[in-house]
Structure 1
């Protein structure tokens, strides 16, 4: 009777551990973060445990293995002491055969109870309410990890070393979790993310300004003519053309600062030209402009220049129209 009570307690502990293990894997990180932000300390603690999965899973596995082995040992010992003599006398068989029969009689129902009540039922319930089971288990998981820290450290180290032997890939659960995190975003933020995906597949030629529409400066222009064109266009940056070749980019802010020096050689202000092929994808173009620390690039098709692309234009593909201080023509009105 005492052995049966111990086995039932072991099955109960095994059920808790198995359910917690499933909940640990199945919990939504996005939902846990939301709970933690709302002041749920258990959710915050569970998030910390999830940052080191090897340690937490080691605690659970130690518990499951120990409880299973203990239940089997108690069941085997109970079978040998209680059932073996009875079966030997009842069937008139040798003691060794009686031991095997008694162990079989104990192991079969114990295995059934262990699989159904110790594994399947708690794991199914944990899948249905993963966050509830996960946060409920956080405190004792945390303290268990501290108590058996030396053993866990060895298991954690061993696991990490073995895992390093395998290539790292994104798992389906990670992808599902990222999808769940997207569900918690506002419609605007979702749109930004979708636009980021879109620009990875959109080419420069889809949004660039055709060359025939580009306002540009000529090297033969006087400083007064340059000033008038800058004011009329309202642009911050303009290409500089010598005959038919783009030789630089002029920043209008630098130009107006230069005017205060009373010097006339405005071409000394020109910045180097950056080129992008019209079939470059926008995300790659954005990275290229960042690397070159440039805001504008001349677009070409391997034969000739076809237009210009700006960093602002790419950003507008992600977040929508960007208001520019010069869009309302205030500068033009003040200086005209």
Structure 2
């Protein structure tokens, strides 16, 4: 029996080694590299070693896997026979005399005991501790992991090469554990309830807004065709200057033959008035070229195009090449970070909250933004804007007083200009409207009260 104790002690050591490698693996995955960088700049002795581990995460994860495998194999090879030998005399004391039976029972009990010890103390406990104390364990295990990887580097190199050969033979490209997160994963990370523990609420909200907005089509943020203020190439420059003063925009598209589908460029009012004292009497010398994009282009893609081309204005065109709208760099930035008011802006808020859960909304606001502002799930709709939603629900041109259901609320048309819905009141339904909804009846136009 005494000769079995060294093997039992070795088995305990191998369980601890397994626990070390498991804890190191989860700690290096969980710890934040930005936090390690901060500690390294403050002079934390182990932080630079931990940074080295995290920067070569794939290589060190392979090292932890080798350590876990070697520890587990050694545990089974040494621990099971040693523990079985320790149990044999005890089995004989309880009356099991047959050597075959006693050996079978001893090995079965030893196997069960070591399996439980391995799973509990070698896997589950160190994993839970590492997830809760990732920074401390990453700092504490980094140097030991660097030493282990250095010693076993030849074996790790061979295993990595063989693994890549097998993957290529199967037609699967090798992939590392440290691959960048996908955009959807990053979005989920910052939208998760615990995301605020990583960043202040304002920064988390900004990042979430950027991620949500980047994939929105530009048609949701453009100035629509009917609202574009443009000037004609044939206008005398004095007339152009006067129009520019009156409209208050810093950039204006220029067309030919007074046709908005024939935009040839745009002018910046600064260039226009700098040229006032010079000999130039035509718009042509100060004309700038915009970026032309399809209406399916995304905000993120257009922002990149404007940055690369160093242009501040884009023209949105339809499939036939006609002008659908206009987007400026300021429009895109406002979508990402919120409204930016310059010295020319005299803008009303597009969503004005009123008493009793009501909101007066500009019809050009997107359905999703209106729903978010009033705190409901966006209703299913093919239209992008609230005005388009109302028209689609009515199935005809809208009139003042028309009402449609907007999710749990009611959208009531309050202003129509030139057959176009411009203002909509979003409000809770009246008792009569609630009864009509329960009976699946159409909402009839109502007289508006001031």
Distance, in Å, in 2 between the alignment partners of 1:119 and 1:112 is 10
Paired residues of 1:20 and 1:133 also in contact (CA < 8 A): yes
SS of residue matched to 2:234:
coil
- Is the contact made by 1:54 and 1:159 (CA closer than 8 Å) also made in structure 2? no
Does residue 1:46 correspond to 2:47, yes or no?
no
Contact kept, 8 Å, 1:54 with 1:160, in 2: the verdict is no
CA distances 1:101-149 after superposition (whole Å, capped 9, x unpaired): 5544544433333333333333333333333323321221122222222
Task: Give the Cα separation in 2 of the matches to 1:253 and 1:230.
Answer: 10
Number of aligned positions between the proteins: 327
Aligned counterparts of 1:148 and 1:86: Cα–Cα separation in 2? 41
2:315 pairs, out of 275, 295, 298, with: 298
1:282 and 2:296 equivalent? no
Q: 2:254 aligns with which of 240, 256, 278?
A: 240
Distance in 1 separating the partners of 2:69 and 2:173: 25
Return the offset for 1:283.
3.3
SS of equivalent to 1:297: strand
> What CA deviation, in whole Å up to 9, does each residue of 1:23-61 have, x standing for no partner?
334445565556556554534533431232332122223
Q: Is the 8 A contact 1:201 1:281 kept in 2?
A: yes
In the alignment, structure 1 residue 18 sits paired with structure 2 residue 2: no
Describe the SS at the equivalent of 1:194.
Answer: helix
Is residue 85–residue 98 contact of structure 1 (8 Å, CA) maintained in 2? no
Query: Quick one: higher RCO (CA 8 Å, sep 6+), 1 or 2?
Result: 1
Are positions 1:3 and 2:21 aligned together? no
Aligned partners of 2:214 and 2:298 also within 8 Å: yes
Pick the structure with more helix per residue.
1
CA deviation vs aligned residue, 1:138-185 (integer Å, no higher than 9, x gap): 221122222222222223344455567258695899657666776433
C-alpha distance in structure 1 between counterparts of 2:173 and 2:27, whole Å = 25
Structure with higher strand content: 2
Unaligned segments of structure 2, at least 5 residues: 347-450
- What is the rounded CA distance, in whole Å, between the counterparts of 1:322 and 1:280 in structure 2? 23
- Corresponding position of 2:244: 230
Q: Which runs of 5+ in 1 are unaligned?
A: 329-336
Q: Which residue of 2 aligns with 1:334?
A: none
Cα 1:86/1:313, change in 2 over 3 Å: closer
- Provide TM-score, normalisation by structure 1: 0.74
Q: Shift of the alpha carbon at 1:318?
A: 1.2
Cα distance change of structure 1 residues 162 and 187 upon mapping to structure 2, 3 Å threshold: farther
Q: Considering only aligned residues, what root-mean-square deviation do their CA atoms show, in Å?
A: 4.2
- Label 1:116 to 1:263 Cα distance change in 2 as closer, same or farther (>3 A): closer
1:57 aligns with 2:61: yes
Distance 1:207 1:47 in 2: 42
